[in-house]
Amino acid sequence: MQRLRNFLDHHCDNPALVTVIEGLMVACKDIAYKVQLGSLAGVLGSAEQINVQGESQKKLDVIANNLIKQALRAMPQVKGLASEEESDAVACNPDGEFLVLFDPLDGSSNIDVNVTVGTIFSVLQSDPGDDPTYESTYLQCGREQVAAGYVLYGPSTLLVLTTGKGVYSFTLDPRVGEFYLQRENIRVPATTKEFAINMSNQRFWLPEMKNYVADLLLGEEGPLGKRYNMRWIASMVAEIHRILTRGGIFMYPYDSREPQKPGKLRLMYEGNPMSMLIEQAGGKASTAFENIMQVEPTSIHQRVSVVMGSKDEVDTVIRYHES
Ligand code: AHM
Ligand code: MG
């Protein structure tokens, strides 16, 4: 069994990036431990605070954010960070080479019901003259990412990672505190019969998305000609992990509840890193109109419409939006 460190030393040509990924994993192991202890560590429930997204924070959102922030700030390789739980970008070390953007605890509405949550991260390279206190420093499109991944806090704790050379997963052995390589060169099957979308938002979707889902629900008698199955965990990390395991399509499309926002999920630390993983595994990630990783960001907390997973099914959704 290959240890994460050993794998990275052979797989990744930039030792500074290896250090950043390893440093992130130190914080994530700590988060995994706290998630596992749950009420025994007094970490469940609300932090009674509202974050920059206008969402009420859980205690574990705050704890996970602080652990990752602390770890990144201590690394000379990291110039700055941006987090779902921080209103502004945070400067770290002026000579750092990397910018790290993250959602410390995705799916945290699930935390009190003991359902899988996770940390999502995206790593960008910065130019030497860039000022990490400026938001503009972070506004690179997804194609510029040098690494992306997530840590899933489920029955097992898993790291799923890409540095642009395929997707690999690692399982944490909590007895020794090490991640071990589990799956190499993960591939997403091109076709699927499994979809994930929050159906309660149906009346707010664009007509094109309503048409696609209506046709899909007709099953083998409908124009799509197959019987679909539905899943909705309300935890993007868990849904994307299922898709990286057996295929599927995950959608959180534009809806008209807040017309000024293009979707619920955030581009920089949810849409982009998950798109890089999905594409690296042979899948596809789109807003339904354009490739997510080509969206030019205008703010670190920008929202994006998300349609990702098995390539043929994503293409079908795109076709519905073309007509
Ligand atoms: P979060 O980062 O605040 O947890 O929000 C993102 C989550 C995703 O993990 C999930 O796909 C989605 O929100 C669920 O939304 P909904 O509650 O509308 O079903
Ligand atoms: Mg999230």
For residue range 153-190, what is the model confidence (pLDDT) as tens digits? 999 999 999 999 999 999 999 999 999 999 999 999 99
CA-CA-CA-CA torsion sign (316, 204, 242, 222): negative
Please state the CATH superfamily assignment of the domain spanning residues 4-183 in this structure.
Fructose-1,6-Bisphosphatase, subunit A, domain 1 (3.30.540.10)
Whether residue 236 has its Cβ less than 6 Å from ligand 1: yes
Ligand nearest to the CA of 60: 1
Whether residue 198 has its Cβ less than 6 Å from ligand 1: yes
Q: Kindly state the average pLDDT of the residues 216-221.
A: 98
Tokens of 176: 């020794």
Whether residue 173 has its Cβ less than 6 Å from ligand 1: no
- Tell me what pLDDT residue 53 has: 73
Which residues is 121 bridged to in the sheet?
A: 102, 149
Q: Kindly state the average pLDDT of the residues 13-41.
A: 95
Topology match between the domains 4-183 and 194-322: no
Fold of 194-322: D-Maltodextrin-Binding Protein; domain 2 (3.40.190)
- Tell me what pLDDT residue 238 has: 98
* Averaged confidence pLDDT in the chain: 96
Nearest CA to ligand 1 atom 7: 107
Residue with tokens 């605070």: 49
3-class SS of residue 102: strand
pLDDT interval class at 58 (50, 70, 90) = confident
Whether residue 103 has its Cβ less than 6 Å from ligand 1: yes
The 10s digit of each residue's pLDDT in 249-304 is 999 999 999 988 889 999 999 999 999 999 999 999 999 999 999 999 999 999 99
The 10s digit of each residue's pLDDT in 71-126 is 999 999 999 999 999 999 999 999 999 999 999 999 988 888 999 999 999 999 99
- Tell me what pLDDT residue 52 has: 78
- Tell me what pLDDT residue 43 has: 78
Domain locations along the chain? 4-183, 194-322
Point out the ligand 1 atom lying closest to the alpha carbon of residue 108. 4
Q: What torsion do the CA atoms of 228, 234, 239, 240 make, to the nearest 10 degrees?
A: 130
- Tell me what pLDDT residue 102 has: 98
